[in-house]
Structure 1
Amino acid sequence: MDALPDEILLHILSYLEAADVVTLQQVSRQFLNVARDKTLWKQLCFEHSVTETRRRRQLLFSSMEPRLVQLVQALSSITSRPTNGHVSDMSDTETQVEVNEAQTNCAFLASWDPTCPGEDVNFYQDFIQRHASLTVSWFERARYGRSDDNLHHTATGMGIFFDDRGVANKLVAPLEDGSIGIWDAFGSTGRQGNIIARSAVGLLTNKGPELDYKTRVNQSQSIMTETDAVECVSIDNQQKKGFFAVQNVLNEVDLQTLQIVSRTSYPFPITALSEAAHPTPLTVGTNWTLHLHDTRKPPSFPSSITHCELISGNPTNSLQTGDFGGHASLSQPGPLSILHLPTTREWGGNGDIWVGGRFTSFLNYDRRFFPRLRGTVHSGAKLSCLTALPHPFIPLDVRLTKPYPPPGLLREVKSVSGCTIIAAGEYKGKGSLELYSVAKDPSRSISCSHSSRMDQNTFYQNRQTASSSKLLSVVPHGTRLVFSDGDGNLKWVERDGFTPVRQCNINNIASSNQREQLEQGDIVRKISPTINPSLLDRSYANIPLGMDNLLVWTGDGRLGMVGFGKEPVFKAQEMDEIALEAREKKTMEKERQYGAEMRRALERQAMELRWMRGYGL
């Protein structure tokens, strides 16, 4: 076998199951390299995909007698396992399938292929993320009080500090006592999952040491939980600063010293922050206004904004803006998510800033002409989260071309310069997952510069199969999209927005030693991938295995990492035990020092008494 060329070995491996290929990697270094071939695992991802499974099942049913079809369907419903179409003893079916099978499979593989030209994907890692076991590792809790009481402060938000490689290095979160906690998310300090830094209590709420500890904590808890905004933390990786929204105050914090740099007040409670990427100004959304916060300028706030008057327009046109001191005013409250598109993209007739929230339309602004509203795009859904996929939108009619879209058409569509806006929200009580095309070519892009009806080939709205409850958060993850809903589910779908890949419930994937720490009925309010493709200084395909995970913030204020494999990324119980042991050791050391000091004090007192007795006193 060692003398065989790699091409021959790959051809042999193509006949093996995925589990056997994984086992074969342990034989030798040569087999390890050959068994990690991207093309091989791309084919395996395709063969195990829902799309191919459905196609083979339909092909099998079309060649069977009606009675056999009913029997197979009944068997599939009993076992709850999809039929994969590999029927070895049905010669008639195999004969029909083998007609031009190689060319047909290549065409279907090209139709399924989620990648775009120039995108390098590690399909071995992709297969793991599609089929491996899921685990949740919970970060160390911010304890307070006596260790026996098991009291801890919950997180009121989440932000990620990425290193120069684009990998999540630190997890930053405000806590309900007004402090800021920083966790080791990657293991760079050797304490992955542990709190490595924490600011003073009341830092974000401006409750200083002039108040006693209990008063500071109680007042801070009331302030930190009043607005309940999800997008309330934004991290500037370049300047190593964090922006934390607390009620109507934006706190700028130096993450190296955990000290306040500036505080900026706004007229209404802050409900959403955009990403922070110096030198681009941060976009701040309050209940009724939008602002650009430029960190290069000293904090200032015109007095005319403090008591601004909102323009109430025509009820039929519920989204209007006005300029009051350089900010945009909204006639409907509730921006919940703000998306910044890359300024380096080619101009396509739309602005850089997109805003979504409790209103049923996107707001679009051009930063160069802010606060003038460039236009709106009607969705109909109330949106919770906006994000972007740096790849062009594939129209649904292209995907659904029967029996498969022509390869030339797919290459043309995937080569279009543009990106895809992804929105998650609620439409008539059900979850809504929406995709919108933003491209240089106006015929392939949504446009908010006019009120004409959008082209059906420039957007897709999944309001049937996404979820039976509201969608809370959505992010791209590898070659897929992952979103969370109000029932505690995490669901992965293909980039088309409707083909399922896998799903789980956050309350069911914790390991046995973690389940006792998890409150049942929890939900995932925010998802963030541990890899930021826009910051990568190398190919995404070269990211080591086990690093492309998901960070989650739950409704109960827990912070966790969803990993792929049999073992958790880190074990929360062991970390808690280590932390408890360290605290107990520290307490014992303090008690020992206190006992030694008391002993020395008593000895000095005894010496003084003996000395006084020598004088007859």
Structure 2
Amino acid sequence: MASLGSLPKELLLHVLSFLEPPELVPVQRVSREFSKIARDDVVWRARCLRDSSYLSSLRSRLRLQNLNFALLQAANGVRAPSEETGEANEDSWIKCISGLEVDGDRLSSSQRLERERVRITANWDPIFPDEQVSWYDEYIRRQGPIVVSWFQTPYAHGTGTKSRSAADFVETRGVTLYYPDGEERLDGKVLAVSPLDDGSVCLWHVSGGSATKRGAIVARSRPGILFAGPKTRSNQIDSGVTECVSVDSQRHRAFFAVQQNLIEVDLPTLSVIHRETFPWSIATLSAANSAVPLTVGTSLGLHLHDYRSRSPPRADIVDTIDAFDGTKVQLEDISQDPYRQLFDDSPLPPYVPLAQPGPVSILHLPVEGQPSSLSDDIYVAGRFKSILHYDRRQFSRIKGTVYSGANLCSMTSLPYPFSYEDSQARRQARLSLEQVEKSKSAPGRTLIACGEYKSKGSLELYGLPPVGEPARNRQTCARSKLMSVVNHGSCLAVADGMGYVKWFERDGFTEVRRHRIGHSERTEGPSIFASMPGSGDLARKLLATRAAALSSSGEAQVNNNDLVFWTGEKLGLLSFSSQPGFGSSDFEKGEEQSATPEELQLEAQEQAYSQKMREALLRHANDVRLANYLGGPSRGFQ
């Protein structure tokens, strides 16, 4: 008797399609061939549609439109599916929506049913023609179990493991992601970079390397390097600035906003290499990219900070600036004195004044159809009613505005078109295959923003055509303010003021799923508010760890796109797994327990690992500086 593996691939795929997801996943362990077939995109895309909220929302919408299923049955010979009898499956609803009969004498061929299935799937499908996606990975993000993990807690320098207390905890003041390989790759390393409240810079493992090291602190600078002198109220990091840190992974530079100062840090050495003082407090920073200048948003204006034109710093300059304590100034360092710059009578560098104060988010829009390339379009949102549009080539004047009416907190974009009318029709499954293809192939880009409108959360999508500006387009509202929005696979992930992370389809209206972050308090000493409803942590900022679809070898990576979030005090990781996540207490030893020889050996290995990582980053930084000096490309991180 022939084995199952000897069947043709098409027939084997048809057999496996009858299995449920919990039964189909173990099949991947049989062999590489079975693993490839069991992850077929056609099968898992159908699973995503079948288990999505799109069909249930479509049924609800039909009921709200007073479509009487009994009248449909009488007029078209269609027997409406009954949820009570368990008949409300995908095929029955497709027949009901399309007007196909089930048992009558009218046309009901399998070909017509399949055409309607394809048409409804096309109306739901959020993927654009040029996008690469793994539908098996999408199903995990849409239906898989979610685990929330908490990064290792940083403590004040000089506190021993046994003497640590809650008072020694040092809060994080922001977060962004750093790719030591110089670019984002699915099989590359990812680190989280944060400024701490004591003026130090801290790096955590997010992915890559040993699995037991996820969430652990990789390196940390000495305290106070971000301060111009001793820590005071006038120079401490403002906890109200969400976008206070930005990283250029190609040049391995990090930029931190501390009041009026912009501090540039060399990440391999964790040393300050440049300080610049702006006339007003810095309210937000754009994402850093080696192809364009950094856009700095102060309380009253916008500035272009082109750090690329400076020559690589010498080692003695790095040491001198890092050792600056604000109490005495050497003659060779007088140009770097932040206090002297405040009284400098030289004219201000070019900037764009804002008619209303309060920028919160700055977005560099990518080129249409090219997510990895940036255009000259700069969008600014904040505590004013319109999104401001600037052109980097004509930065002295505003190019246009997009009226919102909301107080916006975060922005992101898609290099693909968006049409409000087409989106409404697709939610009701009214477009034909030709209309869906035409709407997805039209030129344009999508601007996505979130914030607060009349005490409600607002998620807004704007189609940006090549010519002209769009009108206001508020897609949905939430019970509380939306804090952050990012692209996460084929969905939009948002964080609200009630502690939820929610996923929406790209129409900005259909909710896919939601998950509450919960508490980050340790179990041995929770506060009296831990059990109160609505007392959990909330995410002020979300970051997707991966945006690429393929690894450097061209192979798809599965379940490798997590969400890093910042609560305003701590960092966490939201991942998709059935295994328990890690916690901050996993990296610490109990106060009452003495260290065993095995624990001492493990601690020594961890310290050696961190030192090795810093030495490798330092060697790579020297290669980058030498390559920049010679005018040639630098090698990737080894």
Kept in 1, the 8 Å contact 2:368–2:444? The answer is no
Matched to 2:51, the amino acid is H
Match in the other structure for 1:159: 176
Match in the other structure for 1:523: 538
Looking at structure 1, the residues matched to 22 and 71 of structure 2 have their Cα atoms a distance apart, in angstroms, of 33
SS in 1 for 2:308: coil
The Cα offsets for residues 360-407 of structure 1, whole Å up to 9 and x where unpaired, read as 101111111112111211111111001111222243335415652111
Looking at structure 2, the residues matched to 58 and 377 of structure 1 have their Cα atoms a distance apart, in angstroms, of 30
C-alpha change, 1:307 and 1:201, in structure 2 (3 Å) is closer
Looking at structure 2, the residues matched to 136 and 222 of structure 1 have their Cα atoms a distance apart, in angstroms, of 35
C-alpha change, 1:579 and 1:63, in structure 2 (3 Å) is farther
C-alpha change, 1:368 and 1:302, in structure 2 (3 Å) is farther
- The offset of 1:196, in angstroms, is 1.3
Match in the other structure for 1:384: 409
TM-score (norm 1): 0.77
Q: Does 1:330 align with 2:365?
A: no
Looking at structure 2, the residues matched to 536 and 271 of structure 1 have their Cα atoms a distance apart, in angstroms, of 36
Kept in 2, the 8 Å contact 1:139–1:194? The answer is yes
Aligned ranges 1:397-412 → 2 under 5 Å: 397-400=422-425, 403-412=429-438
Matched to 2:198, the amino acid is D
Matched to 2:421, the amino acid is L
- The offset of 1:102, in angstroms, is 1.5
C-alpha change, 1:18 and 1:460, in structure 2 (3 Å) is farther
Matched to 1:159, the amino acid is T
- The offset of 1:513, in angstroms, is 7.0
- The offset of 1:71, in angstroms, is 13
Looking at structure 1, the residues matched to 119 and 19 of structure 2 have their Cα atoms a distance apart, in angstroms, of 22
Kept in 2, the 8 Å contact 1:337–1:357? The answer is yes
Instruction: Single out whichever of 119-128 and 90-99 deviates more from structure 2.
Output: 90-99
TM-score (norm 2): 0.75
Aligned ranges 1:412-431 → 2 under 5 Å: 412-431=438-457
Match in the other structure for 2:209: 188
Kept in 1, the 8 Å contact 2:192–2:205? The answer is yes
Aligned ranges 1:179-328 → 2 under 5 Å: 179-188=200-209, 191-207=213-229, 216=230, 219=231, 223-226=235-238, 228-297=240-309, 325-328=349-352
Matched to 2:536, the amino acid is G
* The one of 386, 389, 413 aligned to 1:361: 386
SS in 1 for 2:508: coil
The Cα offsets for residues 561-611 of structure 1, whole Å up to 9 and x where unpaired, read as 10001114545432234999898989999xxxxxxxxxxxxxxxxxxxxxx
* The one of 107, 122, 130 aligned to 1:118: 130
Looking at structure 2, the residues matched to 111 and 584 of structure 1 have their Cα atoms a distance apart, in angstroms, of 61
- The offset of 1:533, in angstroms, is 3.4
SS in 2 for 1:140: coil
Match in the other structure for 2:548: 533
Looking at structure 2, the residues matched to 515 and 405 of structure 1 have their Cα atoms a distance apart, in angstroms, of 56
The Cα offsets for residues 455-490 of structure 1, whole Å up to 9 and x where unpaired, read as 5xxx631243xx111111000000000000111110
The Cα offsets for residues 418-450 of structure 1, whole Å up to 9 and x where unpaired, read as 32111011111101111112233x3xxx52xxx
Looking at structure 1, the residues matched to 422 and 406 of structure 2 have their Cα atoms a distance apart, in angstroms, of 23
SS in 1 for 2:240: coil
* The one of 561, 572, 578 aligned to 1:548: 561
Matched to 1:417, the amino acid is P
Kept in 1, the 8 Å contact 2:234–2:259? The answer is no
SS in 2 for 1:337: strand
- The offset of 1:538, in angstroms, is 6.8
Looking at structure 2, the residues matched to 535 and 417 of structure 1 have their Cα atoms a distance apart, in angstroms, of 25
- The offset of 1:514, in angstroms, is 10
Match in the other structure for 1:497: 508
Q: Does 1:461 align with 2:474?
A: yes
SS in 2 for 1:44: helix
- The offset of 1:303, in angstroms, is 12
Kept in 1, the 8 Å contact 2:184–2:548? The answer is no
The Cα offsets for residues 238-284 of structure 1, whole Å up to 9 and x where unpaired, read as 10000000011000000011111111101111110001111411000
Kept in 2, the 8 Å contact 1:399–1:405? The answer is no
Looking at structure 2, the residues matched to 385 and 248 of structure 1 have their Cα atoms a distance apart, in angstroms, of 22
* The one of 465, 484, 499 aligned to 1:488: 499
Match in the other structure for 2:193: 172
C-alpha change, 1:3 and 1:387, in structure 2 (3 Å) is same
- The offset of 1:9, in angstroms, is 1.5
What 5-or-longer segments of structure 1 have no aligned partner?
Answer: 208-215, 309-322, 448-453, 590-617
Structure with the bigger RCO (C-alpha within 8 Å, sep 6+) is 2
Matched to 2:454, the amino acid is K
Match in the other structure for 2:13: 10
Match in the other structure for 1:31: 34
Kept in 2, the 8 Å contact 1:178–1:220? The answer is no
Looking at structure 1, the residues matched to 13 and 550 of structure 2 have their Cα atoms a distance apart, in angstroms, of 34
Looking at structure 2, the residues matched to 554 and 338 of structure 1 have their Cα atoms a distance apart, in angstroms, of 20
Kept in 1, the 8 Å contact 2:171–2:196? The answer is yes
- The offset of 1:113, in angstroms, is 0.8
- The offset of 1:184, in angstroms, is 1.4
The Cα offsets for residues 342-363 of structure 1, whole Å up to 9 and x where unpaired, read as 36879xxx95111000001011
Kept in 2, the 8 Å contact 1:335–1:356? The answer is yes
C-alpha change, 1:3 and 1:364, in structure 2 (3 Å) is same
Kept in 1, the 8 Å contact 2:499–2:538? The answer is yes
Kept in 2, the 8 Å contact 1:527–1:553? The answer is yes
Looking at structure 1, the residues matched to 217 and 457 of structure 2 have their Cα atoms a distance apart, in angstroms, of 35
Kept in 1, the 8 Å contact 2:540–2:565? The answer is yes
Match in the other structure for 2:366: 342
Looking at structure 2, the residues matched to 225 and 399 of structure 1 have their Cα atoms a distance apart, in angstroms, of 44
- The offset of 1:15, in angstroms, is 2.6
Matched to 1:336, the amino acid is V
C-alpha change, 1:46 and 1:547, in structure 2 (3 Å) is same
- The offset of 1:305, in angstroms, is 11
The Cα offsets for residues 113-153 of structure 1, whole Å up to 9 and x where unpaired, read as 11111211100010010011111111101023343433310
